[in-house]
Amino acid sequence: MGRGGSRATGAAAPPWHALPDEVWEHAFSFLPTAADRGAAAGACSSWLRAERRSRHHLAVANCYAAAPRDAIERFPAVRAAEVKGKPHFADFGLVPPAWGGAAAPWIAAAADGWPLLEELSFKRMVVTDECLEMIAASFRNFQVLRLVSCDGFSTAGLAAIAAGCRQLRELDLQENEIEDCSIHWLSLFPESFTSLVTLNFSCLDGEVNITVLERLVTRCRNLKTLKLNNAIPLDKLASLLQKAPQLVELGTGKFSADYHPDLFAKLEVAFGGCKSLRKLSGAWDAVPDYLPAFYCVCDGLTSLNLSYATVRGPELIKFISRCKNLQQLWVMDLIEDLGLAVVASSCSKLQELRVFPSDHFGLGVLTERGLVDVSASCPMLESVLYFCRRMTNEALITIAKNRPNFTCFRLCILEPHTPDYITQHPLDAGFSAIVESCKGLRRLSISGLLTDLVFRSIGAHADRLEMLSIAFAGNSDLGLNYILSGCKSLKKLEIRDCPFGDKPLLANAAKLETMRSLWMSSCLLTLGACRQLARKMPHLSVEIMNDPGWSCPLDSLPDESPVEKLYVYRTIAGPRSDTPSYVQIV
Amino acid sequence: MAGADVGTELRLGLPGGGAEAGAKAGKRGFEDTIDLKLKLPTAGMEEAASKPEPPAAEKPPAPKVQAVGWPPVRSYRRNIMTVQPVKSKKEEEAEKHQQPAANAGGSSSGFVKVSMDGAPYLRKVDLKLYSSYKDLSVALRKMFGPFTATGNSMNEGSVADPVNGSDAVTTYEDKDGDWMLVGDVPWQMFVESCKRLRIMKGSEAIGLAPRAKDKNKNKS
């Protein structure tokens, strides 16, 4: 492809640059990532034209980076779109309500310009019932709806989807705030509807009509993923499993009941029939005595999410140790270091480990030992999220040496400013070892006592780093300067409670345009710097937030006024018009 | 650099607390950081034991001030886990059986949903964190402040208008499913019977007030 006419025989082949668009479109369909397609589109205008007109999947990582209409115009053939809204720190309550991120403008534009749209995915956005109704009414081919950490809708909206989307294959609701209007939305899937492959309503608070669910599960023979909510009792779970033994992924929901040998036997038989089960989640409130019912599926499990399960002790550890083929494990820190040592020796194929804190107000249960063990014995481990109460430089250095293949390393020592508990030194050396050793590191979260030195290492060595999260770290502006003047691949930077001020921000203004976004809260920024930044960089949107509001017009405030929260992102859409009163675009 | 303005005092000490940390604002040298750190309780931890100690043993658990949004755990997870506290006993698990939806604001926690007419978001409050209607009123005002037309004007005294003078009225749904006006019954009784809160326009709330008192007369 593209080698020119050197092999032309007989009748002259068209020169490669005159090949019709369809040829390029076909070629581009083999490009694996959006980044590749973007690079191809930048080669010349005919490739640009061919690529954009054949792009079927569009990921908009920041809903304010471009206007919906622009996206539709540029990519008219999109069939699957994914849009993200609020800044990541909104997950932790740092962004007040009504900040923005409404899905409605995207859905309205899509209804107009992408009538053949099949898939929509929204993350951290406000999705209303009207949005869901519009989706159901506008896209006759609609197949996949995925909502992650969204809010603004209720079961009434779900009812519209159930009733209106005749081709629906996936309804995937992850960690959303959904208002329960007591509408039996499940019963609105028509009797003739059988296309469901994925149904995840685990985050839904509220009753579900079990009979309706059973009928739905029975008639959807292609159902592969079923994730239940709290409202399904254990014995009903067993019946559902018997109706859908082909399941690949199961979320058990509550999984709690007083131990009863009959119910245990029923569950055991039900799980025994699920020969294809690979992913298991839920088990909230699981009673340890019931865990053995899972034993027959352990061998086949590649993914286990017990991150909301409060079960602990030997039964938990025994259960996990039987899952020899586990690639992904999410668990609570109730597993303790001892449990992780067992994971280390049993789950040699582990690729991703996430350990969540069980007590948000305490110091944490885990120590460095659990992580050291797992990183030593799991050669394929590349992604870690770990909440613990203490750490040492030595442990981090050991981990870095063991696992140079980390792509994602997120360590949260629960108490801010915690030093190496043995030497009392900052953890600079440890995290430096991580970034020096793990050349493919794409995501990093650091914690504990840290000085500017760690930022020097990160800036110098973390060439592939795309996302960096910093809290309660650093001594001075130097820290931020190291990051912004280094970290060649940085896309997202989020900082809270660090002594970083105006100078490094202004000195590295151009860098910000190469990044998707920057969040800084509780740092040492002033309004003057934000004004300068906005003046200097017209393609950046500089948003500042003051909760609960501004006591006087922004223009009248002096340059020295402190800025509590700053969110900067590049955009071709200009300043957004849907800001709440506490947000000002400088 | 601009540094230590009032209101941007940097505290490298414990989040939200530490008078000694508050006194030192602005940039600090490396040595100062270590110095400060040694004063803090976490610095002295020596770990000789081979098993992790429970958090309670390390320091008094009470009045600990947490920074907002710390630890970095999703609000969704935080709400769920607060309602499902870590339990190791079977009998405690049986107690939760009574309410299938863990977030229903039942006996195991004080979290209830709060909606305000016109606001696109619901919020959640833990009633057990407050000891009076006044405290709750302050918290609700903080939560829903941005939604009001005129901002932060606070109507003193009446808890029925926590957000914006006489326009808003706070109501709640009690265990029987009835919608009541907040403020009629003793605080503790309210906490026990409140399932969810709704801040509505005053005009729609007419007619609610008498029911609370009648209901209480009928209860033994």
- Report pLDDT digits (tens) over A400-453: 999 999 999 999 999 999 999 999 999 999 999 999 999 999 999 999 999 999
Phi then psi dihedrals of residue B76, to 5 deg: -60, -50
Tell if the CB–CB gap between A360 and B78 is shorter than 8 Å.
Answer: yes
Cα separation, B48 vs A77, whole angstroms: 63
Cα separation, A469 vs A466, whole angstroms: 10
Tell if the CB–CB gap between A477 and B76 is shorter than 8 Å.
Answer: no
| Smallest Cα distance from A252 to chain B, Å | 14
Which of B13, B101, B122 comes nearest A230 by C-beta? B101
Cα separation, A189 vs A481, whole angstroms: 55
Q: Which of B104, B123, B91 is nearest to B194 (CA)?
A: B104
- Spell out a b/e string for B97-108, using b for 16 or more CB atoms within 10 Å of the CB, else e: eeebbbbbbbeb
Q: How many CB pairs under 8 A join A and B?
A: 220
Q: DSSP character for A466?
A: -
- Find all residues with CB under 8 Å of B89, minimum gap 6, and list them: none
- Spell out a b/e string for A105-120, using b for 16 or more CB atoms within 10 Å of the CB, else e: bbbbbbbebbeebbbb
Tell if the CB–CB gap between A358 and B86 is shorter than 8 Å.
Answer: yes
Helix-then-strand count for chain A, H and E: 21, 23
Q: Which of A209-213, A443-447, A479-483 has the lowest mean pLDDT?
A: A209-213
**pLDDT, position B165:** 44
**pLDDT, position A346:** 97
Tell me which residue has tokens 């540029």. A74
CA angle, corner B147, sides to B144 and B148, nearest 5? 100
Please check the confidence at residue A90 and state whether its pLDDT lies above 60.
Answer: yes
Higher-confidence position of B48 and A11? A11
- Report pLDDT digits (tens) over A61-72: 999 999 999 999
Which of B37, B73, B147 comes nearest A417 by C-beta? B37
Q: Which of A312, A313, A345, A306 is nearest to A329 (CA)?
A: A306
A385: its two tokens: 């999220």
Kindly tell me the sign of the dihedral angle through the C-alpha atoms of A574, A579, A584, B4: negative
Tell me which residue has tokens 């309660």. A472
Residues pairing with B170 in the sheet: B199
| Smallest Cα distance from A504 to chain B, Å | 11
Which of A284, A390, A524 comes nearest B2 by C-beta? A524
3-state secondary structure of A357: coil
**pLDDT, position A148:** 97
CB contacts of A476 in chain B (<8 Å) are 27
Q: Which of B144, B203, B215 is nearest to B179 (CA)?
A: B215
For residue A4, the one-letter residue type is G
Cα separation, A109 vs A69, whole angstroms: 6
Cα separation, A73 vs A52, whole angstroms: 10
Higher-confidence position of B164 and A448? A448
Please check the confidence at residue A195 and state whether its pLDDT lies above 70.
Answer: yes
- Quick one: average pLDDT of A155-169? 96
B123: confidence class by pLDDT, cuts 50, 70, 90:
confident
Max mean pLDDT among A243-257, B24-38, B163-177 falls in A243-257
Q: DSSP character for A448?
A: S
Q: Which of A77-81, A88-92, A220-224, B62-66 has the lowest mean pLDDT?
A: B62-66
Which of B45, B75, B80 comes nearest A92 by C-beta? B75
**pLDDT, position A151:** 94
Rg (CA), chain A: 26
Q: Which of B64, B76, B109, B199 to mutate to test the interface with A (most CBs of A within 10 A)?
A: B76
Tell if the CB–CB gap between A284 and B151 is shorter than 8 Å.
Answer: no
Report the Cα B214 to chain-centroid distance in Å.
30
Q: What percent of chain A has pLDDT over 70?
A: 97
| Smallest Cα distance from A567 to chain B, Å | 17
- Find all residues with CB under 8 Å of B136, minimum gap 6, and list them: B125, B127, B130, B159, B162
For residue B114, the one-letter residue type is V
**pLDDT, position B170:** 84
Which secondary structure element, helix H or strand E, spans residue A522, and what is its range?
strand A517-526
Tell if the CB–CB gap between B30 and A152 is shorter than 8 Å.
Answer: no
Give the 3-state secondary structure of A201-225.
CCCCCCCCCHHHHHHHHHHCCCCCE
| Smallest Cα distance from A355 to chain B, Å | 11
- Report pLDDT digits (tens) over B28-75: 444 333 333 333 333 333 333 334 444 444 444 444 556 888 999 988
Instruction: Tell me if A172 sits within 8 A of A249, measured CB to CB.
Output: no
3-state secondary structure of A364: coil
**pLDDT, position B36:** 37
Residues in chain B: 220
CB contacts of B67 in chain A (<8 Å) are 416, 497
Q: Which of A134-138, A340-344, B125-129 has the lowest mean pLDDT?
A: B125-129
- Strand ranges (E), A246-300: 249-251, 279-281
Across chain A, mean pLDDT equals 93
**pLDDT, position B91:** 39
Please check the confidence at residue B152 and state whether its pLDDT lies above 50.
Answer: no
DSSP conformation letters of chain B: -----TT-----SSTT--HHHHHS-S---HHHHHHHHHHSGGGG-----SSPPPGGGTS--SSPPPPTT-S---HHHHHHHHHS-----HHHHHHGGG-SSTTS--TT--EEEEEETT-S--EEEEGGG-SSHHHHHHHHHHHHGGGSTT-S---SS-TT-SSSGGGEEEEEEETTS-EEETTSS-HHHHHHHEEEEEEEEGGGGTT-HHHHHHHHHH--
Cα separation, B39 vs B33, whole angstroms: 10
Report the Cα A260 to chain-centroid distance in Å.
38
Instruction: Tell me if A277 sits within 8 A of A250, measured CB to CB.
Output: yes
**pLDDT, position B161:** 43
Tell if the CB–CB gap between A93 and B94 is shorter than 8 Å.
Answer: no
Kindly tell me the sign of the dihedral angle through the C-alpha atoms of A452, A454, A457, A460: negative
Which of A285, A477, A526 comes nearest B96 by C-beta? A285
**Bridge-based pairing state of the strands B168-174 and B179-181:** antiparallel
ipTM: 0.86
Residues pairing with A80 in the sheet: A57, A119
- Find all residues with CB under 8 Å of A506, minimum gap 6, and list them: A529, A532, A533, A536
- Quick one: average pLDDT of B131-139? 83
Instruction: Tell me if A575 sits within 8 A of A549, measured CB to CB.
Output: no
| Smallest Cα distance from B220 to chain A, Å | 31
Across chain B, mean pLDDT equals 58
**pLDDT, position A147:** 98
Cα separation, A63 vs A103, whole angstroms: 9
CB contacts of A308 in chain B (<8 Å) are 77, 80-81, 84
Q: Which of A185, A262, A250 is nearest to A216 (CA)?
A: A185
